[in-house]
Amino acid sequence: MQPTHGASKIHLPGVRHLVAVASGKGGVGKSTVAANLALALKAQGYQVGLMDADIYGPSIPIMMGIGEVDPQSTQFPLERYGIKLMSMGFLIKGTQAVIWRGPMVHRAVQQFLTDIPWGELDYLIVDMPPGTGDAQLTLTQSAPLSGAIIVTTPQEVSLVDARKGLEMFRQVRVPVLGIVENMSYFIGEDGKRYDIFRHGGGSKLAHDAGVPCLGEIPIDPRVAECGDTGEPIVHKYPDSPVSETYMQLAKTVVDQLTKAGKQPELPTLKL
């Protein structure tokens, strides 16, 4: 079982590890990382769920290739590529905007966690909205998070916000598993590496904050293509360098959580 934290009110008996994928800024690839990490964990033999906590801007339905569903006649969680899924996007039409106030968002996030029959899961990955708003508060304060992964791009504007995201988890004592630098560099057709956004800011932030750098994911136009066509790159191009990075990321996350879950052993005493 994962450590529960002081203010936890939500109990998730079937879920071994609840892991948040967060960032400060939007558009850094959080949902992409959440979806591909979920698929990489599944490929390594784990039971995985993916919960889209981005109530105002859900992108998991499109990324996982789920078209419009009739919420009245649909059994949730949905399942795609062997991953259990829940998203606000399943409950509203694609063009509709959610204009809820904080308490509604709070309730929705709570219901996604507790009213959806997730069953037995090794990992429930939560795709967080950007920033430090209502959904983040609900999750960090009342859900039993095992850890958080912070996604950033190498640019300073993204790093500054990533640091704020990191601090939010620290304040509520959710372990930060580490930083993922997405869109880190680009390998051209000439085989050369181009640091489009100046690479390395993620590892510097990780170093400064005293957390591991979990991986650097290159820019690959196939990532965007896969996101738009509903078949994440780990599924569509499992042998691509990006997918290999995700497989490694999944292994690191598993190791980190296994280590965190182990109680320090007491020394054996000769009595």
Binding site for ligand ADP (CB under 6 A): 23, 26-32, 59, 182-183, 217, 219-220, 223-224, 227
Residue 61 partner contact from Mg ion, ligand ADP, none using kind-dependent CB cut-offs of 5 to 8 Å = none
Give the nearest distance from C-beta 227 to Mg ion in angstroms: 10
Range list of H helices, 102-172: 102-114, 134-142, 156-171
Give the nearest distance from C-beta 262 to Mg ion in angstroms: 32
- Closer Cβ to ligand ADP, 2 or 140, answer by number: 140
- Closer Cβ to Mg ion, 126 or 179, answer by number: 126
- Closer Cβ to ligand ADP, 12 or 51, answer by number: 51
- Closer Cβ to ligand ADP, 36 or 142, answer by number: 36
Residue 140 partner contact from Mg ion, ligand ADP, none using kind-dependent CB cut-offs of 5 to 8 Å = none
Q: Which residues of 46-68 are buried (b: 16+ CB within 10 A; e: fewer)?
A: bbbbbbbbbbeebbbbbbbebee
Nearest by Cα to 210 from 244, 167, 246, 168: 167
What is the DSSP pairing of strand 83-87 with strand 78-80? antiparallel
- Closer Cβ to ligand ADP, 157 or 224, answer by number: 224
221 vs 181: CA distance, rounded Å: 16
Range list of H helices, 115-217: 134-142, 156-171, 201-209
Residue 181 partner contact from ligand ADP, Mg ion, none using kind-dependent CB cut-offs of 5 to 8 Å = none
Could you tell me if residue 139 is left (phi over 0), alpha (psi between -120 and 50 degrees) or otherwise beta? alpha
Strand partners, 86: 51
Residue with the shortest CB distance to Mg ion: 31
Interacting residues toward Mg ion by CB under 5 A: 30-31, 59
Residue 176 partner contact from Mg ion, ligand ADP, none using kind-dependent CB cut-offs of 5 to 8 Å = none
For the packed helices 156-171 and 134-142, what is the interaxial angle rounded to 10 degrees? 40
Give the nearest distance from C-beta 31 to Mg ion in angstroms: 3
Give the nearest distance from C-beta 244 to Mg ion in angstroms: 23
Residue 183 partner contact from ligand ADP, Mg ion, none using kind-dependent CB cut-offs of 5 to 8 Å = ligand ADP
Quick one: DSSP state of residue 126? E
- Closer Cβ to ligand ADP, 56 or 100, answer by number: 56
Give the nearest distance from C-beta 26 to Mg ion in angstroms: 6
209 vs 62: CA distance, rounded Å: 34
165 vs 176: CA distance, rounded Å: 10
Give the nearest distance from C-beta 265 to ligand ADP in angstroms: 39
